[in-house]
Amino acid sequence: MDNDAVFYRELPKVELHAHLNGSVSAQTIEKLISRKPHLNIEHSMTAIGKGQRRTLDECFEVFRVIHKLVDTEEDILMVATDVIKEFAADGVKYLELRSTPREERDTGLTKRSYIETVIKAIQKCKEEGVDIDVRFLVAIDRRNGTEVALETVNLAEEFMLSSDGLVVGIDLSGDPTVGHGKDLLPALQKAKNSGLKLSLHLSEIPSQLDESDLLLSLPPDRIGHGTFLHPEVGGSQSLVDKVVQKKIPIELCLTSNVKGNTVPCYAKHHFKYWYELGHPTVLCTDDKGVFCTDLSQEYQLAASTFGLSHEAVWKLSQQAIDCIFGPETVKQQLKEKWNDLHPQLFK
């Protein structure tokens, strides 16, 4: 590893946008494939390699393949444990993992047991002393409509109270071409009223202006992607104004957007737009397994593409602390950790 790569690995980082089943590493996929040879799944079907690009549609096909491989309690526990340890090894000190409790027919687990299994993995890593603070956002897949969304929110509310602070919020994700946010608004509103934080995928594709406007009225506590919010790409100034006025942090996933073909190249990524506005932005991986990346690499890519100094990169990773859904005490602990690590990185 060259010196620069070492800097990015050692840089303490906060990861706020990571879908569990999109984050499964090649090593873990190998273990899953050997457990289920009859599925005839090859690793090339679960990841998009260097230089490759797919349509967003094709990305969602990849998730369907991974879901076939991850379909028991044992699998979910292994996947979650491996993913947490991999983030920790990459220098991530605080992680918000998100995952969609699936239907019982897909996993043999109720949605409740699905959530419990992810929590078990988080607790296991904590007991083993893995150096990372992990929280959980329960995800709503937008294609499943109003009722499933409400059911998911009800469960998340329960776990928010019973999980010792591990469940902190709701994620809205899934294929953006399917369904409409208006059907999910009541569930999201209910979640917000109960004290759950909201991170919503917003304007990941063009022509979702109405939906984004509607969902911004909640408002969400963070935005995922927001690729097409600004006027230069067909969004609107009024959407930008709302995001800016409410200071809603945006989770930005460079490689995901380039490989999923929603932005033409790294240099044209909307990181530049929001960063230059001085708006709170947080670099994230989205699906480190599927897109073959890690958070260190995303920071390094942002720096090399947009000419950021190590000091600027440090600030970026430090400012992400203010965007976490964990409590104020955790923010303070993280800030102290960053201060302690600073001299070591800038010696």
Ligand X SMILES: CNc1ncnc2c1ncn2[C@@H]1O[C@H](COP(=O)(O)O)[C@@H](O)[C@H]1O
Collect all residues with Cβ–Cβ distance below 8 Å to 328 and sequence separation of at least 6. Answer: none
Of the ranges 4-12, 13-21, 129-137, 263-271, which one interacts with ligand X (CB under 6 A)?
13-21
Of the ranges 14-22, 147-155, 156-164, 318-326, which one interacts with ligand X (CB under 6 A)?
14-22
Partner whose binding site includes residue 22, from Zn ion, ligand X, none (CB under 5 to 8 Å by kind): ligand X
State which of positions 144-173 bind ligand X (CB under 6 A): 173
Kindly provide the b/e burial profile for residues 181-202, where b requires at least 16 CB atoms within 10 angstroms of the residue's own CB: beebbebbebbbeeebbbbbbb
Collect all residues with Cβ–Cβ distance below 8 Å to 154 and sequence separation of at least 6. Answer: none
Which residue in 82, 86, 141, 286 binds Zn ion (CB under 5 A)? 286
Instruction: Give the Cα-Cα-Cα angle 27, 96, 72 (nearest 5 degrees).
Output: 50
Q: Which is nearer to ligand X, 21 or 318 (CB)?
A: 21
Which residue in 204, 221, 251, 294 binds ligand X (CB under 6 A)? 204
If 0-12 CB within 10 Å is exposed, 13-18 middle and 19+ buried, where does residue 92 land?
buried
User: Which stretches of the chain are DSSP H helices?
Assistant: 3-10, 26-35, 56-69, 73-89, 104-107, 111-127, 145-162, 185-194, 209-216, 237-245, 254-259, 271-277, 295-306, 310-319, 328-345
Site string for ligand X, 72-111 (x = CB under 6 A): ---------------------------xx-----------
State which of positions 225-254 bind ligand X (CB under 6 A): none
State which of positions 284-323 bind ligand X (CB under 6 A): 286-287
- Please report whether residue 86 would count as binding Zn ion according to CB under 5 A: no
Query: Which residues does the annotation mark as catalytic?
Result: 204
Q: Which residues make up the interface to ligand X (CB under 6 A)?
A: 19-22, 59, 63, 99-100, 139, 141, 173-174, 201, 204, 256, 260, 286-287
